[in-house]
Chains A and B, each alone.
Chain A
Amino acid sequence: MQPKLSVQNLYKIFGDNADAALEMVRRGESKSAILSRTGATVGVQDAGFDIHEGEIFVVMGLSGSGKSTLVRMLNGLITPTSGQVMIDGEDIARADTATLRRIRREKIAMVFQHFALFPHWTIAENVAYGLKVRGMTAGARRARALEVLAQVGLEPWADSLPADLSGGMQQRVGLARGLAADPDILLMDEPFGALDPLIRRDMQTELLALQKTLKKTIVFITHDLNEALLLGNRIAIMKDGRIVQTGSAQTIVTAPADDYVAAFVADIDRGRVFTAGDVASEPTTIQLRSTSVREALRMMEQSGDRALYVLDGERVAGVVTYRDLAASELDGATPDTTIGKSMITDFPTANDDTQLHELYGPAGGGPPIAVTDGADRLLAVVEPHDVLTHLAGDAGEAAADDIAQETADAQPR
Chain B
Amino acid sequence: MAASSIPLPASEPLGASPWIPVPFRVEERASETADTITITLTPPKGIPSRPFRPGQFNMLYAFGVGEAAISIAGDPDRPETLVHTIRSAGPVSAALSGAAPGSTVGVRGPYGTGWPLASASGKDVVLVAGGLGLPPLRPALYEMLRHRDRYGRIEVIYGARTPKDLVYYRQIQEWRGRSDLRFQTTVDAAGREWYGDVGLVTARVPDLRIDPSHTVAFLCGPEIMMKFTAQALAAKGVPDGSIYVSLERNMKCGVGLCGHCQLGPDFVCRDGPVFRYQDVRRFLSVREL
Do the two chains bind? no
